[in-house]
Chains A and B, each alone.
Chain A
Amino acid sequence: MSKFFSNIMGWVDARFPATETFEYHMSKYYAPKNFNFWYFFGVLSMVVLVNQLVTGIWLTMSYNPSGEGAFDSVEYIMRDVDYGWLLRYLHSTGASAFFVVVYLHMFRGLLYGSYKKPRELIWLFGMGIYLCLMAEGFFGYLLPWGNMSYWGAQVILNLAGAIPFVGGELVQWVRGDFLISGATLNRFFALHVVAIPLVLVALVFLHLVALHHVGSNNPDGIEIKKNKGPDGVPLDGIPFHPYYTVHDLVGIVVFLAVFSTVIFFFPDGGGYFLEQPNFEPANPLKTPAHIAPVWYYTPFYAMLRAVPSMFGSAFPGVIVMGAAIAILFVLPWLDRSPVKSIRYKGWMSKVWLAILVVSFVVLGYLGVQPSNGTTLGIGNTLLAQMLTALYFAYFILMPFYTSIEKCKPVPDRVTGGSH
């Protein structure tokens, strides 16, 4: 039997680098043995990506991307398509799960300096994926053609309209019409289903190729390739397959349990995964009481609102919001620390990372609140302004506090292996 299979693989390998590729990326890819909890989120991102693609394909079979038919087609999927409700919930919960998982994956990068040389390109590809993901979510959210879909898109497109000189024409080009209409819906459908998924899959491929070329980082920030055995294998490395394929199964099952709990017991996510105003069709004459983007955009939305209009234009807010994402791109060059991992950095890095986390989370909360409210006695706008400043300070001051702080000595070999 085994001879039969090895004959088949022999035939394939003579024509296609199958075994070679599997060995390079899996069975002979030596990953550090000390991966911890934070290292699950890359694989989980891929799991969620596959989920979105597969459920997306089946949804597309029954969905109608026209202004007249879209909302009805979603209810048709929920009621008349066999297990349509499950496909819908898998996709809507999956969208939120995607951002949870990707934010935690990015946070791992911040913790362990995974963006530092020679991994800057991995980080850049990852930032490209993040941008595409945000666009994908934006386009996808219009598709149910609910009232929040319509008005959320209206607000965000109007921001682009604030760009001086070109804004008006640009927004008309994006909308395909003078206002958000069926034309907009149809083209957002094409972008959401075909264009961006293709770009996403390509970027994920490039992200992984770049990673495998230099090898994975680890919680100690040690380059395991510096200590190789006589056979050329890093002493602290273990083959990704079977060690991490098996290990990741545990993470995947835990993730599926959390994911399923949401899907089967509270798919609305308390009104954060499926917003209440979206249970009525888009109505250009009826604005929802609070227009807020979906939770995963709210930190940036809070920053946008915090910036006051200048010279009658909302454009400065757009600049700040864009800068908040753009600054992430240059992170590899802002971090001047001689060490990679937060474990060995000085106290300043730890404090600033904590400040970043708190700022980002609280800004996220503020993004769903009305801007004229108060939180713990402080006006929301003022609070958002302070937190925006702190968010940027993490990055802007980084070249300084990473240079001057006293770091701990980094060991030669990794500390702790996973069980």
Chain B
Amino acid sequence: MKKLILSVLLVLSPFTVQAAGHGGVELLHAPVNAQDKVSLQNGAKLFVSYCLGCHTAKYMRYERIASDLQIEPKLVQEYMMFTGDKLGEQMNTKTDPKDQAKWFGAAPPDLTLEARLRGADWVYSYLLGFYPDDKRPFGVNNHVFQDVAMPHVLADLEKQQKPEEFKQSVGDLVNFMAYMAEPIKAERERLGVFVLIFLGILMIPVWFLNKEYWKDVK
């Protein structure tokens, strides 16, 4: 029986070799760290400054950003909210996506879940992946997303900052987007530890109860 199980595992083992690389492009590794509040706060600031002009984040509430990222609600209202929304509202713009489709060719998608849809590494590589291309309407193309309709929005920031600094900024932005895609992530991991500890402790009486009852079998 053991020989049988071993031979089955042996036959299946070559299939554990998986080819790397998907869609052809090597992705950079995004520095996502849900615990780094400074990075998340910087990312939030960048997101509001550079992204919300065209994109929405319609599932993300300002108030949630304030409490999760430990920013004073007043500061959120002053520096992150420009359209007279209330703190509890979601990051929605008033632009009609149909108009945007006319102006840009494609309506800019909502970004709340983008980091989960594409993966944080993809978003990071994408934002760092713009290069000059005369044939495109905005003069740029992207290594990760061929013929994308989006301009290189972070071009100004890239000029203002040194390359390492710029990479750091984009990293913060992607970190924030990863947070936006699943705000509960840090909390669920924290709770998970307690759940497993609880089950570990529960196992002790359960195991010994079982042993005790089965003492008189056979």
Contact = CB atoms under 8 A, between A and B. Distances in A.
Interface stretch (A44-52, A117-125, A190-198, A254-262): A254-262
B38 interface: no
B207 interface: yes
B217 A417 contact: yes
Interface stretch (B111-119, B142-150, B156-164, B166-174): B111-119
A221 to B, nearest CB: 14
A69 to B, nearest CB: 13
A28 B196 CA distance: 35
Contact of B213 (A246, A289, A342): A246
Contacts of A350: 4
Contacts of B4: 350, 353-354
A274 to B, nearest CB: 8
A3 interface: no
A14 B37 CA distance: 66
B118 to A, nearest CB: 7
A376 B14 contact: yes
Main secondary structure of the interface of B (DSSP, over half): helix
Contacts of A342: 1
A372 to B, nearest CB: 14
Interface string B115-143: 01111000000000000000000000000
A407 interface: no
A260 B113 contact: no
A116 interface: no
Nearest to B112: A75
A33 interface: yes
Interface stretch (B47-55, B73-81, B185-193): B185-193
A1 interface: no
Interface stretch (A19-27, A276-284, A323-331, A332-340): A276-284
B20 interface: no
A392 interface: no
Given A78-B184, A358-B8, A279 B15 contact: no
Contacts of A418: 214, 217
Contacts, number: 106
A264 B209 contact: no
Given A276-B119, A376-B14, A264 B217 contact: no
A155 interface: no
A248 B192 CA distance: 23
Nearest to B181: A279
A358 B4 CA distance: 12
B12 interface: yes
Contacts of B207: 250
B12 A361 contact: yes
Interface in B13-34: 14-15, 17, 23
Interface of A: 33, 72, 75, 78-79, 85-86, 89, 238, 242-243, 246-247, 249-250, 253-254, 256-257, 260-261, 263-265, 267-268, 276-277, 279-280, 289, 342-343, 350, 353-354, 357-358, 361-362, 365, 375-376, 417-419
23 contacts: A72-B59, A75-B59, A78-B182, A78-B184, A79-B59, A85-B184, A247-B210, A247-B213, A250-B203, A250-B210, A263-B188, A268-B116, A276-B118, A276-B119, A279-B181, A342-B1, A357-B8, A361-B12, A376-B17, A417-B217, A417-B218, A419-B211, A419-B214
Interface of B: 1, 4, 7-8, 11-12, 14-15, 17, 23, 59, 61, 64, 109, 112-113, 116-119, 181-184, 188-189, 191-193, 195-196, 199-200, 202-203, 206-207, 209-211, 213-214, 217-218
Given A79-B61, A247-B214, A253-B199, 19 more contacts: A75-B59, A78-B182, A79-B59, A86-B188, A249-B209, A256-B199, A261-B192, A261-B196, A264-B188, A264-B189, A264-B195, A265-B189, A279-B113, A279-B181, A342-B1, A350-B4, A358-B8, A362-B12, A417-B217
